[in-house]
Every structure is written in structure tokens, then in C-alpha cells.
Chain A
Amino acid sequence: MKEFEMQESGQDRKLRAKVGVYICECGPNIAGKVDLDRIITDISELDDYQDVELVVKKYGFLCSAPGKEYLEEEINSNGFTHLVIGACSPRDHDSTFMGVCKKTDLNPYLYRIINIREHCSWVIDDKEKATVKAESYIRGGIARVLRQSELFEKPLDINPDVLIIGGGVAGMEAALSLSSDDRRVFLVEKTDRLGGVSIDLSGILPGQGEVIGKKIESVLGNGNIRVFLNTRVENVIGFLGNFEIELLSEENTEITEIMSGAIVVAAGGTLFDPRESDRYSYSGSDEVYTSLSIEKMFAGDDGAVLRSGKQPSSVALIHCVGREEKNYCSGICCSYMMKLACFFKKQSADIQVTEFYRDICLPKKNDQERFSEAQAAGVALIRIKDISLKGTNVSFERISGDKDKQSFDMVVLAPALEPSADTEYFADLLTVPLDEFGFFQEVHKMTNPVGTATDGVFIVGAAHGPKGVSDSMQFARASAGQILTRLIPGEKLIPEVAVTEISEAYCTGCGNCLEVCVYGAIYSDDSRGISVVNEAVCRGCGNCFGSCPSGALRTKHFTNTQLYREVDEALR
């Protein structure tokens, strides 16, 4: 069961190691509960290591400003090859002492902080036992640090440009937020125009059309945004800071190669087809419309009228179409349906307008007005437990349990917002997972909603989940915020240092590690028949290590050899 050991730190092979062991008194917190002098004596007298010199001292507060200066001075004057600090939790001060090392010639990965406070002096009352334990931890730390390797930051050059997939409101907002003289934006749209679904929504609220129109003008007129219409994304390889993309023009089947540092997926959504549900059955000749069609009608010259051109005398607006079927609420329909209801009333006060809803969902701080406006306009609002449709005949169950039927001249349905048809294609292309609804999966619903497991690929707008125009633009700006603060023109990225590597000699190319890596940091090198870790993407979690049957993986800062040293000491 010998674990593969790659070349350990060159230093402890060639040179005599000199390990500085500094124990922080932390006032009575450590010094009062642990016999530090005894530990210093015991460790100084250790003869476990050949060719290793130990310098063991204690100090008041190593994390204080004078403490850090003291450490820096000690490292420099002693020429330590390794450093061990017995103090508090790494979560408190690991970065503090790493910072000290960085000021000296000592590689910060040849240092270790040992927790003898939270895990020792604070939890063991008996001084003798606490002393023995602290000493054991420190000895384990020394044994381990000697097996650690020098690791170096590998700053990466990055391309600050951005590829935006989708020219709807989210894509355009991202493009306008990101583009500048030192950051180009490539905005790729599969259809022949920008604006996405918002074009169809651009007619009915005052000023709405103008806003969208101006946005399109701004985008087209911006010299730093290159717009590709009738174009699809064919291929993507790379990682944050370094993506290589192939674009295919539908018109002339030409491939254009571009490079970018980030990709914003603004591929939009689509509407649920109500006929996929048993609840709603109607044919193309029935006067049953989706809300989007009605929006288009209201934007036109004739308004929302029947196919014959006549005004409907009664209209049913049915909310939540697809809510139960999909098991999520799209969040925007109540608001726009009340808007549409008012529009019908404005079109003609004689139209009997009835809204059927399950719950009123108006989460925005200014939307409650929509409800009162609809009521004031004389719209009937009926709360239902369930509803079904045959042509324009509506059967419904009220909240009281009473069942009822009503026929209408026209029926308008508010269908759920679904992921667009392209979502699966992009998920595959960009190796971004999809959630249970088919939308792109964000890294973390709360703390990182626009990021994906493929760092550098961001999801915005309806591609992330059902949302309206303003939220889509907000998400777009959030992705811009991440890109603007992380991919800075002229500056390099510093990826995680304590990453994993794969030994060519031991790797059989089985691909287990590749499959378990959620970050896609491992790829297959077919020419050598092995798997390879992309150190620019690896986060150092070690999940791959647990999956490898050949012992070919080496989690550089957490090797089994290093961990065995701690185990060894613990079990003495």
C-alpha cells in the first residue's frame, strides 16, 4: 500500500534542515495552561531527526506587530529552512504568519501553524495532560513540516475581454457595463436582431420601448462591443482568464476564433407550452393566447382583439400556468397580468375582465399598486384551488371548495418561464451543470448566484432562473461586477497554490478523478493516456485523491506522507 511519493522538498535532502519552532504564550491562554518551558526543553532535546537543527523559543504574542517583526528577524538571522508556530487556530492566523514568511526568503509553504489553543489549552483542564498534548501536536507539526514542499504562486496572464452569449436585455446590459477601451466585448446573438424577448414587451408601458431601443443603439454604437448576429457558439476550451472560442456564422458558415477571459451566458428563457399540461386543452383556432402574444397585440395598432377583429366582451386571465407542473413560481406573472388586465379595461371599459390566480405574488416594493389598480379598474380577481381549460371554457374550483364554470370570449394564459431550448447545449459546451429544472446551476444560491462551477463562466437573466427584465439586468450587472474586479487588464491572476498534481508514471488514465472533479479541473491527455490537472482551475479539495485507485495523485500541501507524520505522532 505504498503511496506514490514524488520528489519532496529539495531542501531537506540536500541541506541540513533548520527548523524554527516558536510557541506563542498568548498570555495565560496557552502559557497558563501548558508548561511551555518543559515543551521547549523536550523538543530541543529531540533526537528523532538526523541532520535537523531545532531552535525552540517562546514569545508573548506572535500575532502582534512586534511579534511579527520579531519572527521576521528570527527567520532572517537564523536562516530557517522550515518554521513551526505553536499558537491558535490556522483560521485565526495562518495568513498572518504566511505574510511574515513572504517577507523573508522562507517559502510560506514550508511553514506550519499548530493549534495548541482552541484544540488543546482551552479544552484540556489538567495541565499535565495539556502539556503532553501540546507537545505531541508540536512534534507532529515538526515532522509534518519537514515533509512539506516549497510551493510557488504561478501568476497567470489573462485576457480581460468577455464573450457574452445572447443579445437580449441581460446580454446587452452586461455588454454595456463591461466594455471599455481596454476590455472588448464580443456579443453573440443567434437571431438577426438584438433585444430578445423584450422587443415584444416594448410597446405597452410608457417609455418602455424607448428604453430598449436606446439600449440597442448604445450597444451597436459602442466601438468596444463587437456584435455578431446570426451567429452561434461552436466550441469553447480553456478556463478563467484564458478561453478560446469558435463562433459559427449562420449566414456564411464562417468560423471566427476569439479569445476571452470570461463568458457570460445570457441565453434567455422561453415560455412553458400550456398544452403540455392536462389542464389546458385548446386548439390553434381557439381564442386562447399566451401573455406574450397579448403584449404584442397591445403594442400593435389594433389592440388585443379577437381574430375577427372584434372586441372581446369577456376575457379570462389565468395565472400560474405551469406553476404546479414545474413546481416553481416564475415571480413575474402576477405583476404583468394585472398590467394586462388594466390594459383590457383601458381598451374598452365594457370588457368583463376576470383574473384567476392561486396566490398573489407581488414581491417588488412598488408592485402592490398593480393589485389596487386592477381592483379599481373593475377587474374581478378570483382565487382558485385548481383550474382547467377546454377552449375558452374555464372550469375552476374556488378556495371555498365550490366548483364553477364560465365561458369567455378570450383567454390569456401566463405560462411559466422555462430554460431556453439551448440550455442543454451550452451546459455541455461550457461544462456547467444544470439544476433540477433545467436552468443553469449557480455555484451557491445565496452567496454566488451568478457564478458557476466553471470559474469564469457566469449565468445571468432568465438562463439562471425565471425573472423579469429588471432582475435580468441586475444579474447582468452582478456578473459584470465580478469580471470587472477580477479580470483586470494588465494584471495577472493568482490561482490556488496548494493544488493537486498527477504523476504520469502512476496514472492509468482511468478517468475517475476527472469524473468527480466538480470544477472540471482535470482533463484527459489522450496522447499520453493519462489525466492531467489544470492547476489554474484546481481548488485543492482533494476529492480526486479519494477516487484514485493507482495512488497517482498528489495533493501537494496535504499528501498522505505529510498526514502520516501527524498520525504517527498522535499514536506514539
Chain B
Amino acid sequence: MSQTGNILVIGAGIAGMKASLMLAGASSKVYLVEKLPIIGGKVIKNEESFPNLECSTCMVAPIQQDVLQNPNIETLTYSVVEKIEGSAGDFSVVIRKRARYISLTDCIGCGMCYEPCPVSLKNEWEENLIDRKAIYVPCSGSLPNVPVIDSEHCLRIGGGEDCSLCAEACAFEAINLDDSDEIIEVNVGAVILATGSATFDLSSIPDLGYGTLPGVYAPMEFERLFASNGPTLGEITLRDSEKIPESVAIIHCVGRREQKYCSAVCCMYSFKFARFLKHKIPSVRVFNIYSDICVPGKSYQSFYRSVEGADTEMLYTSSIGDVSVSESGSGLKVSYPDAAVSPQSLNVDMVILAAALVADPDVAQLAEVAGVDLDPQGFIKTVLDGSGSMETSREGVFVAGTAEGPKDIQNSVVQAESAAGQVAEIMTSQASSS
């Protein structure tokens, strides 16, 4: 008695992909809906992931390939879920498959369509550190390796102009400039929300200079800088000046006071950054400015100890929420309170802010569609029945990964597996009762 029945998974990051693969393996048909044009989520934006500094692509690419090739998983990229009606065991779902303008079956990823496009704008996936065209894939190695046309900025689709240079350059007739959104209605027995999280809005703390001082970086920006498939092909050069930094300060806990929780991953990625910097620029001086080091679990502290001293100097501050960054000559000055002595300061070329993980800005919309409650911090709430259940306030709808709260990859996967287990149980009881 195999488990048949359809399942909806929203979000194709590590949690969504893992849950999808598990359920597909149990013969369920999975609709995997992803709002971006590519799958892989946030993990693929890191060159390496802690604690082993394992190559993220090596880790995730087989999972992405499995998802795309699994006959039981229908991956709907560049799509959003607009309605989830019904109840556990019988949900009616409306999915809007946004117009990509390029056929997923005909396009073979040759890339000939990019060059002729006359429109150039910032690539948001690359944290605006490099430009893209109106027809683009977010990065080299994107999966699916099929571009999308940004309809808003396309001269033809957004501007009504008579341009079809990309279509003309395509030897496969894969581009359809008259494409339109498609509405798909499916019936599923259960839903898993694995929509991830976002980074704390750093511009809300003007004292840190993010957005005003070019040498101040958000964590994702630095990840892309270090990435070998990133905007600088892995070279660490400062924006605007293109200089290689000689000194870098990494400031921990940015946003912890405001959010009133510890995001649990920032200390580790801050040490990872220190390791990246020292590895790439052996003469660089790195400083981690911190007040409490949070490295729970068996795997993390040893990494911290290996970075401390060897790759970075640890600078304690008695009040991490009162650190500030200002301009100083051609560089930056970081000021931080220290209970023992009068306020300290440090001159560096570059500052990286270890920012809190916060709820994704689209989650309120998703919560409404999915009919689920959010917790006070804005994340999707579980029933909290003291058993590790991943069920939300709506029966049959589950959550996994950072959509539920800040956590590392390991815990996202554990939650995805838990949710998949709970869904599998529903589907079995469905099958036996029908």
C-alpha cells in the first residue's frame, strides 16, 4: 500500500528540497513551488558552509539535480502560490506560474541571448554587486540553467518598445516574448512551508554606516564576494575603490538587541568569514568584535578555536549593541565600548556586519494565503505541543527550516525530515481510509 497523493512544498531551499525528495521517494507526487527562477535557496550563495567549510555546491548540486530529475517532483520555478483552500487531506491550491518568457524544455542554457540585450541593471541575487541584463540567470551554475526575462525592465515587455534581440539570438526558438502567466490548480493532501528567511535590515541602524559607507558589507554581500562564481570570481576587492582590504572588522550580533533573539548562526559565519579572509589575503588583519560567542553543539567550538588567534583577533565589547562605524580618512573607524577602559576604536579598510536572520518580507502574504499564524518575531508558528511537531496552526500545513526561525543547515534539514515524516503519516492514513 504505497503512499499516493499529492503534496505541496513551497520553497526550494535545502529544507524544501530535502522534504520533496523524501516524499517523492515514497511515491507521493510533489509540487515544489519556488518564487525565484532557480532552486537551491540561500545555501548555494555560500562558497563554503560551516563547520567543515565544505564546498556548498558539492553538497547541494546533487540534491538539486535529484530534485530536477525526479519524476515524482514537479518543480515550478518563478511561481507563487495564490490560494490554499480546503482542509487537511484535501487542499485546493492555486499556483501562478509567472511568465518566464523562455521555454524550460527548449532552452539548453547556451547563453547566447544575454549579450544582445541592451538593458543593464543590478543583479539582486548577487546583492547588487554586479550587473545583469533584463534576460538573465542569477549566477553561473544556476539550476535550472534557463534564463528569465525581468518583465518590468525589459524594453519590450515592460516598456512596449519593439525590441526582440534576445529572441533573434536564440537558435532554439526557446524565447516566447508573448508568454503570459499561467494559473495552475492542483489538489494536495498536505502542505510544507519552507520559504526561508531574510537578513536584518542593516540600514535601520545608521550608526553602522551600511548603505552610506561603501566599505561596510552585509553578510550575504561578503559571501558573494568570496564565491568563486560570484561578481568578483572570488577576489576580495572593495567596491568603489577595488582595493584589497588590509584590515577587516567583523561585528557580531547586529540586530540581536532589536530582534530580541540570537540568530544562532552568525558567530559561526563570522568565523568562517575570518577564515575566508585570511586564506585569501594572508597578510590581512582581521578583528571579530563580539560580546558573547554562541557556538552550540559538538561541531562548532573547535572551528571557533581554530580561527581564534590564527585568523582573527577577538575583541570583546561590553555592549555589542553600541558599536558604531564612521568614516576615517580613506578608511573606516569602528568604535566599541569596553567596560574596563574608555571606549575603544579600531581603524580598518572593511567592515562586515554579522546580521540577524529575520522573517522573509513575503511571509506575511504567505501566512495569509496558507492560513497560518505567525509568532511575535514574524516567523511561522508551530503548534508547540512539546513534541517537536512541525504542524502550524492550520491542520495539514507544516513548516520547516528558517521559515520557522533562525537556525543552521543541520536543524533546517532535521525539521524538513520531521515535517516529511508527519506528511507521510497523513498520506498513509489517507490511503488506508480511502
Q: Is there a chain B Cβ closer than 8 Å to A77's Cβ?
A: no
Contact A447 B105 (CB under 8 A): no
A401 CB to nearest chain B CB (Å):
7
Q: Is there a chain B Cβ closer than 8 Å to A478's Cβ?
A: yes
Task: Count contacts on B: residues with CB < 8 A to the other chain.
Answer: 73
Interface string of B30-55 (1 = CB under 8 A from A): 00000000000000000001011010
Contact residues in A for B410 (Cβ distance below 8 Å): 445-446, 449
Contact B295 A329 (CB under 8 A): yes
Contact residues in B for A211 (Cβ distance below 8 Å): 386
Told that A88-B108, A211-B386, A477-B414 touch, could you supply 12 new A-B pairs with CB distance under 8 A? Answer: A27-B108, A177-B422, A368-B261, A368-B262, A437-B298, A445-B299, A449-B410, A474-B418, A477-B387, A477-B422, A478-B413, A488-B27
Q: Nearest A residue to B145 by beta-carbon distance?
A: A92
Contact A177 B340 (CB under 8 A): no
Alpha-carbon gap, A327 to B297, bound state (A): 10
Alpha-carbon gap, A486 to B432, bound state (A): 18
Interface string of A233-264 (1 = CB under 8 A from B): 00000000000000000000000000000000
Alpha-carbon gap, A29 to B51, bound state (A): 40
Known A-B contacts A96-B69, A177-B425; A361 and B295 likewise in contact (beta carbons under 8 Å): yes
Known A-B contacts A177-B421, A328-B302, A368-B262; A481 and B22 likewise in contact (beta carbons under 8 Å): yes
B366 CB to nearest chain A CB (Å):
18
A541 CB to nearest chain B CB (Å):
14
Question: Would you list which residues of chain B between 148 and 173 have a CB under 8 Å from chain A?
Answer: 171-172
Q: Is there a chain A Cβ closer than 8 Å to B14's Cβ?
A: yes
Known A-B contacts A359-B292, A447-B413, A485-B22; A365 and B406 likewise in contact (beta carbons under 8 Å): yes
Question: Would you list which residues of chain B between 262 and 296 have a CB under 8 Å from chain A?
Answer: 262, 264, 292-296
Q: Nearest B residue to A117 by beta-carbon distance?
A: B108
Contact residues in A for B386 (Cβ distance below 8 Å): 211, 470, 473
Question: Would you list which residues of chain B between 385 and 404 have a CB under 8 Å from chain A?
Answer: 386-390
Known A-B contacts A470-B386, A481-B22, A484-B424; A363 and B264 likewise in contact (beta carbons under 8 Å): yes
Alpha-carbon gap, A28 to B379, bound state (A): 48
Q: Nearest B residue to A208 by beta-carbon distance?
A: B386
Chain B CB count within 10 A is highest, among A478, A482, A488, for: A478
Q: Nearest A residue to B408 by beta-carbon distance?
A: A446
Contact residues in B for A351 (Cβ distance below 8 Å): none
Contact residues in A for B243 (Cβ distance below 8 Å): none
Q: Is there a chain B Cβ closer than 8 Å to A480's Cβ?
A: yes
Contact residues in A for B302 (Cβ distance below 8 Å): 327-328
Chain A CB count within 10 A is highest, among B18, B22, B262, for: B262
Interface string of B404-430 (1 = CB under 8 A from A): 011011110111111111101100100
Question: Would you list which residues of chain A between 42 and 100 have a CB under 8 Å from chain B?
Answer: 61, 64-65, 88, 91, 95-96, 99
Contact A365 B414 (CB under 8 A): no
Alpha-carbon gap, A361 to B291, bound state (A): 11
Contact B301 A481 (CB under 8 A): no
Q: Is there a chain A Cβ closer than 8 Å to B110's Cβ?
A: yes
Contact residues in B for A359 (Cβ distance below 8 Å): 292-294
Alpha-carbon gap, A470 to B388, bound state (A): 6
Q: Nearest B residue to A214 by beta-carbon distance?
A: B386
Cross-interface CB contact of B298 among A364, A365, A366, A465, cutoff 8 Å: A465
Contact residues in A for B316 (Cβ distance below 8 Å): 399
Contact residues in A for B294 (Cβ distance below 8 Å): 329, 359-363
Interface pairs A-B: 8 shortest CB-CB: A331-B296, A481-B421, A363-B264, A477-B418, A478-B417, A473-B388, A481-B417, A465-B298
Contact residues in B for A474 (Cβ distance below 8 Å): 388, 411, 414-415, 418
Contact A477 B417 (CB under 8 A): yes
Interface string of B52-93 (1 = CB under 8 A from A): 101000010001010001010000000000000000000000
Contact residues in A for B305 (Cβ distance below 8 Å): 327
Q: Is there a chain B Cβ closer than 8 Å to A497's Cβ?
A: no
Contact B108 A485 (CB under 8 A): no
Cross-interface CB contact of A323 among B25, B69, B301, B390, cutoff 8 Å: B301
26 sample A-B contacts, Cβ–Cβ < 8 Å, listed by A number: A26-B108, A28-B171, A64-B106, A99-B71, A323-B301, A327-B302, A328-B301, A328-B302, A329-B295, A364-B261, A365-B375, A365-B377, A399-B316, A447-B18, A465-B298, A467-B297, A474-B388, A477-B390, A477-B414, A477-B421, A478-B414, A481-B419, A486-B26, A488-B1, A488-B2, A489-B1
Contact residues in A for B339 (Cβ distance below 8 Å): 399-400
Contact residues in A for B172 (Cβ distance below 8 Å): 27
Contact residues in B for A482 (Cβ distance below 8 Å): 22, 417, 421
Q: Is there a chain A Cβ closer than 8 Å to B195's Cβ?
A: no
A198 CB to nearest chain B CB (Å):
11
Q: Is there a chain A Cβ closer than 8 Å to B136's Cβ?
A: no
Q: Nearest A residue to B60 by beta-carbon distance?
A: A447
Contact B108 A329 (CB under 8 A): no
Contact residues in B for A454 (Cβ distance below 8 Å): none
Alpha-carbon gap, A367 to B406, bound state (A): 12
A219 CB to nearest chain B CB (Å):
12
B190 CB to nearest chain A CB (Å):
13
Alpha-carbon gap, A243 to B406, bound state (A): 38
Contact residues in A for B388 (Cβ distance below 8 Å): 173, 470, 473-474, 476-477
Cross-interface CB contact of B418 among A96, A323, A327, A478, cutoff 8 Å: A478
Chain B CB count within 10 A is highest, among A323, A361, A450, A476, for: A361
Contact residues in B for A435 (Cβ distance below 8 Å): 298
Q: Is there a chain B Cβ closer than 8 Å to A490's Cβ?
A: yes
Interface residues of B (CB under 8 A from A): 1-3, 14, 18, 22-23, 25-27, 49, 51-52, 54, 59, 63, 65, 69, 71, 105-106, 108, 110, 171-172, 256, 260-262, 264, 292-302, 305, 316, 339-340, 375, 377, 379, 386-390, 405-406, 408-411, 413-422, 424-425, 428, 432
Known A-B contacts A28-B171, A331-B296, A447-B63; A481 and B418 likewise in contact (beta carbons under 8 Å): yes
Q: Nearest A residue to B14 by beta-carbon distance?
A: A447
Contact residues in B for A484 (Cβ distance below 8 Å): 26, 420-421, 424-425, 428
Known A-B contacts A328-B301, A361-B292; A485 and B409 likewise in contact (beta carbons under 8 Å): no
A2 CB to nearest chain B CB (Å):
36
Contact residues in B for A41 (Cβ distance below 8 Å): none
Q: Nearest A residue to B404 by beta-carbon distance?
A: A365
Q: Is there a chain B Cβ closer than 8 Å to A415's Cβ?
A: no
Contact residues in B for A368 (Cβ distance below 8 Å): 256, 260-262
Q: Nearest A residue to B52 by beta-carbon distance?
A: A445
Alpha-carbon gap, A29 to B172, bound state (A): 10
Q: Is there a chain B Cβ closer than 8 Å to A277's Cβ?
A: no
Known A-B contacts A65-B105, A363-B262, A368-B262; A485 and B26 likewise in contact (beta carbons under 8 Å): yes
Known A-B contacts A96-B69, A445-B51, A447-B14; A466 and B22 likewise in contact (beta carbons under 8 Å): no
Alpha-carbon gap, A341 to B22, bound state (A): 43
Contact residues in A for B417 (Cβ distance below 8 Å): 450, 477-479, 481-482
B434 CB to nearest chain A CB (Å):
15
Q: Is there a chain B Cβ closer than 8 Å to A491's Cβ?
A: yes
Q: Nearest B residue to A483 by beta-carbon distance?
A: B421
Contact residues in B for A362 (Cβ distance below 8 Å): 261-262, 294
Q: Nearest A residue to B3 by beta-carbon distance?
A: A488
Chain A CB count within 10 A is highest, among B1, B294, B302, for: B294
A460 CB to nearest chain B CB (Å):
9
Cross-interface CB contact of B301 among A65, A215, A327, A489, cutoff 8 Å: A327
Contact residues in A for B379 (Cβ distance below 8 Å): 365
Q: Is there a chain B Cβ closer than 8 Å to A9's Cβ?
A: no
